[in-house]
Structure 1
Amino acid sequence: MRAEAQGLVLSVVPGNEAAGTEDNAIQVVVTGEQDEGYNPSRATPATRTDTPLRDIPQSIQVVPRQVIEDQQAQDIDEIVRNVSGVNLSNSAGGIAEIFNIRGFEGTVLRDGFRRGVPFELLDTTNIERVEVLKGPSSVLFGQLEPGGVINVITLEPLADPFYSVQFQAGNYEFYRPSLDFSGPLNDDRSLCYRLSASYLSSGSFRDFTNIERYFVAPVLAWDISDNTRILLNAEFLDDTRPRDRGLVAIGTEVADIPISRRLGEPFDEDNFEQWRAGLRFEHDFNEDWSIRSAFQLTSRNTDSLTTETYSLDEATGEGSDRFFRQQLGRLEESYALQTDLTGRFTTWGIAHDVLFGVELSRVTSRIPDFFQRDGSRATRIPRYP
């Protein structure tokens, strides 16, 4: 007799006609795979290896895909709110996400790589999970602050066909259609793909604030053999929105102006065109030793039209000292290469996991001058981006 329900398999093996002893008694065996759901058992940031969380002494918290989907999270800030000791410390006027972990500025990684360009935008459409490593173990990823790191893990292709289409809608003319397709491209399932894409359009309770974003992320995985695998991935993100510094403070109090008041101009706009491409090679020499090498290229072009306010007339509710600046064609690019050799061996009955690695990175920037509205070169450049 056999019964299946929710991943559990119940097998009943009857004895023979001469049943009557313990050896011939009916045996019941229950096997199955547990859906980890909200409780993942493994994470990669603390050791750069796929190690069970129970074997890692560092403080690690993982926000899995199930939580991200149930929460319908739109950005990384919404995801890490589930993690204690982590908060958004700066948004640069709503165009970036800068986090604080245990009192220090936290570094955001993507699949183990640092964000390639300053204030690089991340979309949640293709995020598998977010891992947060707290404490000075962040030094494993280079010269970083001792508060910790946030590692964003992206989706990979599946061997079984998978198709998902969603549509979200909300207040202030918010809507966001998205899709996630995956499956094999050949009969032996050695070549698989994944395509994630979304479009977002939204207004706001703030004046003259409209957001529009396009995002697409194709991934291709090729199992060359049982021991060798190559993964190619790419992303394109186009995001347009105005900068909004939020509520204005005068002295120790919030200014007496409507909460909807944005002290800018209707034509204010920041546009980001961001490209990312990556290649990862993995090979197992044997059951104990393996090598992983990954390369990532990131490029971002920014056009900015911004009106900044430095003082406020509470009587009229208008900015009395404002500065308009324009910057077109700001280009930032980064190149990063990681190679890790991992192995397992035993000495005198003690098992060891070891990792040898090297990482190289290069960041280039072409930052044009800021210009005032009348076309003259700006002489007053704020320190923040």
Structure 2
Amino acid sequence: MNVRESTGAHRSWRRRLLHVAVSLALGTSAVAAYSAPADVQDANANGNGAQADAARKKAPTQLERIVVSAPNYVPRQTNDAVKLSVPLIETPQSVTVIPRDQIDLLDWQNLSQVVRYTSGVIGENYGPDPRYDWLTMRGFTPPEYIDGLQAPIGSVSSVGLDLYGFQSVEVLKGPSSTMYGLAPPGGIINLTSRRPEAQFSGEVGVQYGSYGNTQANADFTGPLDKDGHFLGRITAVWFDKGTQMYGVDTDRQYVAPALTWVISPDTNLTLLSYFQHDDVYGDGGGFLPIYGVAKFNPLGTVPTGRNLGEPDYNHFARDQYGVGYDFSHKFNEDWRFEQNLKYFSNDVKIKQVYGAGLALNPDGTPTDYRTVNRYNFPFNEDVTSFNVDSRVEGKAETGPVGQKILLGVDYRRYTNNAAFGFALAPSLDLFNPVYGAAIATPSLSPYTKEVQKQTGLYGEDQFKLDRWVLTVGGRYDHVVSDNFGTSTTDNKFTYRVGVNYLFENGVAPYVSYATSFQPVAGADFGGKAFKPTQGSQVEAGIKFQPNFLPNGQNMLFTAALYDLKQKNVLTPDPDPSHVFFNVQTGAVEVKGAELEFVARFNERWSFNGAYTYTDSKVTRSNGPDLGKALVQVPKQMLSGLVDYTEASGRLGASLGMRYVGQSYGDPANAYRTPSVVLWDATVHYTTYKWLLQLNVANLFDREYLSRCSSDAQCFYGLRRAVNLTLTRRF
């Protein structure tokens, strides 16, 4: 079956499944509208199940028109930055919380899109990649966490989970090793799963959009028995999508069952799981030659949809799942115990032919500016991870000083088995590609056979005296890694200390110092194992969340200045007889300023705004990157979005602008990515419990360059994407 026949078959059964989903949405009987009072919403927002249950029991059931559309648009607290239930303005670290209300309004499909209006982080580094989320935060690639536990990341620091399964995304900027162990100094990303709720609610949605995007999704939660001892939730997504690249088709099935057992008013057990299967057919991954993309080609400009892969051969298949639980027991009003446990599995199989640049003459010039060499790179990777995090949280008072205390231990056992093959593939005409050449898959050789065991002991203490807040934390990690029988052991202590002052009007200046570490695989020429890289950061900032605003109005403004350093970075061995070996004498420094603003007024106006200034530099190196900026780190970024809903709460619209400054695609800064301005727009209409929404990303269809890493590795950014969504809520 060729690519056109295959795509046609997919579309046929896709239409049948979509018809069933639409029938379900249209044929479901209406249920009474229910509006919980403010104390229920506040209890839910604070994660206090006991208070929420009590509030619901006294809440009258009544029929009324639902006007409140995004009650949690502006976040108020996080429990992941310090693993304590602490208001954001008391956290001495830059943290951005992106709740489900924002994700739904702006129709963000993945993590790369979620950070469009967040300071300090940039996504979509390789254009519209349907497989992974490519992010850069404060100059580094952030690892991904799920419910506070590190995801089963392998050769890529994300796992590409469907965003629909999560109720919030937390962006923790700066060193976070004190709470999470091994991590780069730029920060981490945490996704919090949707959880069962004591009140019945749900939604069914369908979506159709650009590049053949067809999606059906559903989410239902509520009590499973009359006494409310068991609460359930089921979240599911199915989609079939293309991309702007010719011949690419992506299928996904995602389901996330969850069950909460309310054992007693003080004890809860929530079972969490997710299962996701992905097939990406025909994707060549970009890899366009620079001539015709970022440099002049006498034969013309390379189209943004050009696929230099092999549509009938290339295939990316991924099966991943996570199964575990969150347990909580309250001993008394002051002390509680919590434990998170998950077993993760992520199995990836890739067959990929991709572009290797134009055929060149001996002097380095293209032979005919149209013949593209290609490589064949099959790659298999199987990652598993068992994670458990146990902690005790308490409160104490000593005279005028109040304390919040956290003591914990976590353990992670991680395995990564990977193999790859490599061969040349038939060449292709850049401007008139003809696919279908016979391609043999080369045999695979072992690439990684790693087992890593990490044990961490950590503690955090927050002291409150009048309006002063002092946060002190420390952690000791013991990490044993074995790769192909070579074992290394790393022991490291990391810490952080921060001070906040809480003014009565909601202004909270702070200053903090934090450290991080991350193991480095490999050894130098003499066989000495590399030490972990070490990071440190000084950060000072102001957070402002006014407490004098009337009901229905909320805002959060944050500003931060930071100076971040990393040492023990790998750099080429200067000894000419040690070719292909590294030494560990490199160093990096990143300085920056970040401003961020999010607000919601009277359920009518919503605002998002962010500004980022980043000055990154390699301060020590034996390579061509000495004194250069880090890869894919724009010096300036600016974004802003406003959404307005008219007085009846029915019709609304938003307009957003994103400016991404120039950056460099390679360590030597030889390849510059120009700056770009992009616009996004949304129109949404709500009637009773129906929501019709039109989202447009890159409104004016700007053609732009996402990145060039070399003469053979250029990637276009996402062209205009239009999605129409119909949702029925219950």
Range class of TM-score, shorter chain: 0.7 to 0.9
Instruction: Indicate the residue corresponding to 1:100 in structure 2.
Output: 136
Deviation per CA, 1:207-249, whole angstroms, max 9, x where unpaired? 1111111110000000101111111111111111134135432
User: Hey, what's the Cα distance between the residues in 2 that align with 1:103 and 1:326?
Assistant: 30
Q: Do the aligned partners of residues 367 and 279 (structure 1) sit closer, same or farther apart at CA in structure 2, a change above 3 Å counting?
A: same
What secondary structure, in the 3-state scheme, does the structure 1 residue paired with 2:105 have? helix
- Residue 298 and residue 6 in structure 1: after superposition, are their counterparts in 2 closer, same or farther (change >3 A)? closer
Kindly provide the CA deviation profile for residues 163-210 of structure 1, in whole angstroms up to 9, marking residues without a partner as x.
200111112211111000111111111100000001111122211111
Are 1:67 and 2:133 matched, yes or no? no
Q: What's the offset of the Cα at 1:126? A: 1.4
Is the 1:63–1:82 contact (alpha carbons within 8 Å) kept by the matching residues of 2?
no
| Aligned mate of 1:50, from 54, 69, 85 | 85
CA contact (8 A) 1:263 1:318 kept: no
> Which of 342, 350, 364 is matched with 1:304 structurally?
350
| 1:113 has 2:154 as partner | no
Deviation at 1:297, TM superposition (A): 0.8
Q: Does 1:363 align with 2:429?
A: no
After TM superposition, give the deviation of residue 128 of structure 1 in Å. 0.6
Length-normalised TM-score, structure 2: 0.45
Matching residue's letter, 1:370? G
Equivalences for 1:280-299 in 2 at 5 Å?
A: 280-299=326-345
Check conservation: 2:199, 2:223, Cα contact below 8 A: yes
Q: Could you tell me how far apart the structure 1 residues matched to 2:254 and 2:355 are?
A: 32
- The separation in 2 between residues aligned to 1:362 and 1:90, in whole angstroms, is 30
Q: Residue 62 of structure 1: CA displacement?
A: 1.1
Q: Which of 221, 230, 233 is matched with 2:260 structurally?
A: 221
Change (3 A) 1:66 1:375: closer
Q: Does the Cα contact within 8 Å between 1:138 and 1:149 map onto a contact in 2? A: no
Distance between the aligned counterparts of 1:162 and 1:99, measured in 2? 33
Any idea what the Cα deviations from partners look like across 1:279-337, whole Å, max 9, x if unmatched? 12111111111111111111122221100221225746342x22223345x42211111
Letter in 1 for 2:374: R
Q: Is the 8 A contact 1:247 1:254 kept in 2?
A: no
Q: Which amino acid aligns with 1:360?
A: Y
Q: Is 1:348 aligned to residue 399 of structure 2?
A: yes
Q: Secondary structure at the match of 1:172?
A: helix
Q: Which amino acid aligns with 1:102?
A: R
The answer (yes or no) to whether the contact 2:202–2:219 under 8 Å persists in 1 is yes
1:270–1:378 distance in 2 versus 1, CA, 3 Å: same
Q: 3-state DSSP class of the match of 1:309?
A: strand
Q: What is aligned with 1:238?
A: 277
Cα shift readout 1:148-171 (whole Å, capped 9, x = no counterpart): 222111110011111200111112
Give the distance between the partners of 1:366 and 1:204, measured in 2 at CA: 30
> Of 360, 364, 376, which residue of structure 2 is paired with 1:324?
376
Corresponding residue of 1:152:
191
Question: 2:318 is matched with which residue?
Answer: 272
Give the deviation of 1:143 after TM superposition: 2.3
Residue 136 in structure 1 maps to residue 209 in structure 2:
no
Deviation at 1:122, TM superposition (A): 1.5
Q: Is the Cα contact below 8 Å between 1:46 and 1:133 reproduced in 2?
A: yes
**Is contact 1:220-1:231 (8 Å) kept?**
yes
Contact 2:112/2:134 (<8 A) preserved: no
RMSD: 2.8
2:262 and 2:196 map into 1 onto residues whose CA distance is 11
- Give the secondary-structure state (helix, strand or coil) at the position aligned to 1:54: helix
How much has 1:353 moved relative to structure 2? 0.5
Determine if contact 1:218/1:235 at 8 Å carries over to the other structure. yes
CA contact (8 A) 1:294 1:338 kept: yes
Q: Report the secondary structure of 2:264's partner residue.
A: coil
Counterpart-to-counterpart distance in 1, 2:165 and 2:325: 17
Contact 1:139 1:146 in 2 (8 A): no
The 1-side partners of 2:296 and 2:328 are apart by: 55
Pair 246,140 (structure 1): closer, same or farther in 2 beyond 3 Å = same
- Which residue of the partner structure matches residue 82 of structure 1? 117
Cα pair distance change 1:109/1:8, threshold 3 Å: closer
CA contact (8 A) 1:230 1:282 kept: yes
| Residue number in structure 1 paired with 2:302 | 257
Distance change (3 Å), C-alpha of 1:288 and 1:175: same
Determine the structure 1 residue equivalent to 2:64: none
CA contact (8 A) 1:185 1:193 kept: yes
> Where does 1:193-208 land on structure 2 (aligned, <5 Å)?
193-208=232-247
Q: Is the 8 A contact 1:193 1:220 kept in 2?
A: yes
Given the superposition, is the C-alpha separation of residues 59 and 376 from structure 1 closer, same or farther in structure 2, using an over 3 Å criterion? closer
What secondary structure sits across from 1:362 in the alignment?
A: strand
Partner residue of 2:440? Answer: 374
- The 1-side partners of 2:324 and 2:213 are apart by 32
Q: Is 2:43 the partner of 1:41? A: no
| SS state at 1:98 partner | coil
Offset at 1:367? Answer: 2.3
The offset of 1:136, in angstroms, is 2.5
Higher mean C-alpha displacement, 263-272 vs 305-314: 305-314
CA drift of 1:97 comes to: 1.7
- Residues 261 and 225 of structure 1: is their aligned pair in 2 closer, same or farther, counting only changes over 3 Å? same
Q: CA deviation at 1:274?
A: 0.8
Q: Report the 3-state secondary structure (helix = DSSP H, G, I; strand = E; otherwise coil) of the residue aligned with 1:105.
A: coil
Does the 8 A contact of 1:90 with 1:96 survive in 2? no
Q: CA contact under 8 A between 2:383 and 2:414: conserved in structure 1?
A: yes
Distance 2:284 2:255 in 1: 24
Q: 178-187 vs 299-308, which deviates more? A: 299-308
* Higher-RCO chain (CA-CA 8 Å, sequence separation at least 6): 2
The aligned residue for residue 333 of structure 1 is 384
**Which TM-score applies when normalising by structure 1?**
0.84
Structure 2, unaligned runs of 5 or more = 1-34, 40-67, 360-365, 424-438, 448-730
- Larger mean CA deviation between 287-296 and 80-89 belongs to 80-89
How many residues are matched? 353
